[in-house]
A = this chain, B = another copy of it.
Amino acid sequence: MNEVIRVLVADDHAVVRAGIVALLAAEPGIEVIGEAVDGEHAVELALSLRPDLVVIDVRMPKLTGDVATARIRERAPEVRVLVLTTYESDASILSAIEAGASGYLLKAAPAEELIAGVRSVAAGEVALSPTIAAQLVARMREPAPAALTPRETEVLRLVADGLSNREIGERLFLGESTVKTHLLRTFEKLGVNDRTRAVTLAMQRGLI
């Protein structure tokens, strides 16, 4: 690898963007060729600049990191994507990887880890933060990944808003019994037995 690694940095937070750029630009063999401030912008620049890799934040305006990743990989498969997240427990970890991300690091990671991650991904390898790798393995071991159906998610979101089963039924043009069925199934998937815990768990996992 004697070529310079050309990197596009995408993050809506100015300070974070500056941080990634500062860390990467200081490294020999790494060059930051562009900065994007939201998801759409990231996709545009990725397609026009064709960097070796994009360092992208999961949570961004306009397009979330995982959707942006999918768009980039779809139209420019040779561009690799390294996703950054603030939270260890983010539902988008899985979806970003499914979307074709080659790495997933925590923002809390030390600078060396980020730089090593960039080099690994540019070299065609995969880069995962240890905690995220452990989480992936854990999810694989669990038989049920607790993926909620669209309807279940919809119902749970209304529960989070404090609506009763009857009110949810009215809102969704469903019978109260149907709402309860969805909810019961949701409880089962999440391994809880009351609506409140279901909501907090779903929020923590980024499900709603």
Contact = CB atoms under 8 A, between A and B. Distances in A.
Contacts of A159: 196
Interface stretch (A65-73, A102-110, A139-147): A102-110
A53 to B, nearest CB: 16
A16 B14 contact: no
Interface stretch (A20-28, A39-47, A124-132, A173-181): A20-28
A64 to B, nearest CB: 15
A107 B15 CA distance: 6
A118 to B, nearest CB: 12
Q: Tell me what chain A mostly uses at the interface: helix, strand, loop, or mixed.
A: helix
- Contact size class for A? 35 or more
A162 B15 contact: no
Nearest to A204: B203
A170 to B, nearest CB: 16
A196 B14 contact: no
Nearest to A14: B111
A162 B204 CA distance: 14
B108 A12 contact: yes
11 contacts: A13-B108, A14-B111, A14-B114, A16-B19, A18-B19, A19-B19, A19-B22, A160-B196, A162-B192, A162-B193, A162-B200
Interface of A: 12-23, 84, 86, 107-111, 114, 159-162, 164, 192-200, 203
